[in-house]
Structure 1
Amino acid sequence: MRVDQESGLRERVLVGWRHRGALRVLLAPAALLFGLAVRLRGAAYRFGLFRTHAVDVPIVSIGNLTVGGTGKTPFALWLAERLCARGYRPAIVTRGYGGVLKGRVVMVGNGSELSEDVSEVGDEAVLLAERAGVPVVCGADRVAAAQKAASTNEVDLIVLDDGFQHRRLGRSMDIVLVDGRAGFGNGGLLPAGPLREPLAALRRADAVVVTKTREPADVGARVSAAVPGVPVFTAGFAPSAVIHYEDGETMVRPLGTIVGRKIVTVSAIADPTSFYELLGDLEVQPIDVLEYPDHHDFDQADWQQISKVAHAADLIVCTEKDLVKLRRFPFARGRLVALRLELRMPADEEADLLSLLARRTA
């Protein structure tokens, strides 16, 4: 495994956050200060000292309580697809992590055509715009972005990506995702643990979805104990296809494309563990692994490193989020593919969640 220096530090922090060890004790004073700031901010919203802004259409927020990937992007894609199938005309609003928009708000795609580059808006925004088939608006100012989305022709509902802590923008429903493997780690607030807010903040949620695990009972039980009455759902991710980019078009191949091949994996996501697990389910074992920080902006030195490491490999396999950044490099031609994932939720739970959404947004 080859990991750059920043990714190595991230891995050590993630390990520390999983256990009630020295890291939590060492950083406890900083966590107390962070917790105080979070509680004061929450109180300011509850008592009206900070204003919450509304737009003309309902907003469904998808967020999490912890730092790190819980599957918000594939969940947003899944939800947009389900909403369209039920006659809604949704748009997605996202911040644009990894981009350089600064104060601008832009339409990344109108549902059929991409209008912004990944270097401007970041990997998640481009992936959403290419996959969702609905308008995607990007901007650090989520209120302005939501207003722009609401003014788009025929949009009648907004899916807000990573919005649980963004309380300045009002919403009709909060869906909080929890990583079923990592749970809430050591239970500490940042920087002593992975929590952005205390566990009690889940009282604001209208639904909790436990992701990335085949046995979510433990985490689900902990959520139910912490916030009785908040419905808990379960969802998993499964590989559905292998994709690659050719002449400006996304091409879809069967999963068997990577089975039995010599591969090198490249990832720049918060926690690549589930990526490796999904490859393992396909009985695919990489001959080498390259990890970079989440939302990493790949440059010429990176592609030269990747080319060197992968010289003996048949294929370079990455996540779909990383493909939108890597496909412009020379090594991508004929060798770079991505694992496409789909979210799967039990049919009865899906029906209950979408019924709850319909009531909250009516």
Structure 2
Amino acid sequence: MRAWLQTRWYSPVPPLPLLPLAWLYGRVAAVRRRRLLSTAPYLPVPVIVVGNVTVGGTGKTPFVIWLVEHLRRWGWNPGVVSRGYGGRAPHYPHRVDAADDPRHCGDEPLLIARRTAVPVVVDPDRVAAVRHLVETSRVDIVVSDDGLQHYRLARHLEICIVDGARGLGNGALLPAGPLREPPERLREVDLVVVNGDGWTDSVLRPLRMHVQITDARSISGNVVRPLADFRGRPVHAVAGIGHPARFFAALRARGLDLIEHAFADHQAYDRQTLAFGDDLPVLMTEKDAVKCAAFAAPHWWQVPAQAQLAPADAARVQESVSRLRSVAG
């Protein structure tokens, strides 16, 4: 059923029998949004929400990392909050440590904490997460990793990430399409960032982000190898992300011969799951690697990814963020 839905979501015509359910979903979501926005509590620092309107991966986490790094360059002291999807902490709010267990905090918050070294707090209640972050850290701006539809969280800037290859799919709401909110929602956010080439909108003038993979790094040590070293024989490619095909395509573009292993987003791994019966190298995303560090074999490698924006697009983000100084003051 899931595979059938995914196919129909990204085909031109939505499944007609599901359209009444999509209409009902939209009505309920609209009522919920109005109710929660009217009661969103005051927060003492500016909040930037980075999210999406579609189900599945869009490249949100690489952009969050890019944004946090640039906020520091622009003179801010940022922190990050997240729901911590895929983890269950002993208590909430939970402060993420670089040596944390991904089963407690989730894979994406742990990756963000390790890559940026800024304070990261997870809590299904993101308002509680922001308050804890402000009370326990010297932050003057907060980035919410996901949470565009978490309307209890007051926000001062909304950034929506769209997958360039898949766009908005068939344009229908769940369950007839991949949309959590109507396409018109993009007209309300402050910035739309498209990950990769493809989808665009002449009215929105979206920013364009490209995510580039870098050299491979061993998971069980500190060895770095160029991806070119893996040419000439097959490698196992592992991706438990929202859109595994993007990772596989990036590796193929570097000339690698892949044996693909696509897992569900936020997949929980053990060594047996990744025992493929040979000694071929295993290359995986950073998001997968944070869940494999405790049992990684020497021939397992992570492939980091870096978000890149053109200078003009980065300047548009900086300009939007600069307006938040009045809120911080």
TM-score by length of 1: 0.85
Partners of 2:240 and 2:72 lie apart in 1 by: 30
Aligned partner (choices 130, 136, 146) of residue 152 of structure 1? 136
Asked whether 1:268 is paired with 2:236, we answer no
- Report the AA paired with residue 18 of structure 2: L
Aligned partner (choices 3, 25, 44) of residue 34 of structure 1? 25
Partners of 2:74 and 2:34 lie apart in 1 by: 37
Partners of 1:195 and 1:183 lie apart in 2 by: 10
Partners of 1:158 and 1:291 lie apart in 2 by: 33
Asked whether 1:78 is paired with 2:66, we answer yes
Question: Relative to 1, partners in 2 of residues 1:104 and 1:349: Cα closer, same or farther, differing over 3 Å?
Answer: same
Partners of 2:297 and 2:248 lie apart in 1 by: 23
Aligned partner (choices 200, 211, 215) of residue 219 of structure 1? 200
- Displacement of 1:262 in angstroms is 2.5
What does residue range 213-292 of structure 1 map to in structure 2 within 5 Å? 213=197, 216=198, 218-221=199-202, 224=203, 230-246=204-220, 251-286=223-258, 288-292=259-263
Partners of 1:206 and 1:160 lie apart in 2 by: 15
Q: What is the percentage of aligned positions where both structures have the same residue?
A: 34
Report the RMSD for the aligned CA atoms in angstroms.
1.9
Partners of 1:252 and 1:106 lie apart in 2 by: 32
Aligned partner (choices 16, 35, 40) of residue 8 of structure 2? 16
2:50/2:144 contact within 8 Å kept = yes
Partners of 1:361 and 1:207 lie apart in 2 by: 18
- Displacement of 1:87 in angstroms is 1.8
Partners of 1:13 and 1:244 lie apart in 2 by: 36
Partners of 2:127 and 2:273 lie apart in 1 by: 40
- Displacement of 1:342 in angstroms is 0.5
Asked whether 1:341 is paired with 2:325, we answer no
Gaps of 5+ in 1: 1-8, 225-229
Q: In the TM superposition, what whole-angstrom CA distance separates every residue of 1:317-337 from its partner, at most 9, and x where no partner exists?
A: 1111000112222xx221111
Gaps of 5+ in 2: none
Aligned partner (choices 297, 300, 304) of residue 272 of structure 2? 304
Partners of 1:192 and 1:129 lie apart in 2 by: 36
- Displacement of 1:180 in angstroms is 0.8
Task: Tell me the SS of whatever aligns to 2:96.
Answer: strand
Task: Tell me the SS of whatever aligns to 2:201.
Answer: helix
Partners of 1:359 and 1:305 lie apart in 2 by: 48
Alignment partner, residue 49 of structure 2: 61
Alignment partner, residue 112 of structure 2: 128
Partners of 1:160 and 1:235 lie apart in 2 by: 19
Partners of 2:264 and 2:175 lie apart in 1 by: 18
Alignment partner, residue 204 of structure 1: 188
Aligned partner (choices 286, 294, 301) of residue 320 of structure 1? 286
Task: Tell me the SS of whatever aligns to 2:180.
Answer: coil
Partners of 2:190 and 2:297 lie apart in 1 by: 45
1:266/1:317 contact within 8 Å kept = yes
The number of equivalent residue pairs is: 326
- Report the AA paired with residue 97 of structure 1: Y
- Report the AA paired with residue 220 of structure 1: D
- Displacement of 1:31 in angstroms is 1.0
Aligned partner (choices 180, 192, 211) of residue 164 of structure 2? 180
- Displacement of 1:361 in angstroms is 4.5
Q: In the TM superposition, what whole-angstrom CA distance separates every residue of 1:6-60 from its partner, at most 9, and x where no partner exists?
A: xxx5443221101144x621211211111110121233246x3xx1123211111
Alignment partner, residue 52 of structure 1: 40
- Displacement of 1:255 in angstroms is 2.9
- Report the AA paired with residue 17 of structure 1: W
2:15/2:176 contact within 8 Å kept = yes
Partners of 1:189 and 1:128 lie apart in 2 by: 30
Task: Tell me the SS of whatever aligns to 1:144.
Answer: helix
TM-score by length of 2: 0.93
- Displacement of 1:89 in angstroms is 0.7
2:80/2:119 contact within 8 Å kept = yes
- Displacement of 1:139 in angstroms is 0.9
1:269/1:294 contact within 8 Å kept = yes
1:206/1:231 contact within 8 Å kept = no
Partners of 2:72 and 2:223 lie apart in 1 by: 23
Aligned partner (choices 170, 189, 194) of residue 178 of structure 2? 194
Task: Tell me the SS of whatever aligns to 1:293.
Answer: coil
Asked whether 1:107 is paired with 2:107, we answer no
Task: Tell me the SS of whatever aligns to 2:65.
Answer: helix
Question: Relative to 1, partners in 2 of residues 1:126 and 1:310: Cα closer, same or farther, differing over 3 Å?
Answer: farther
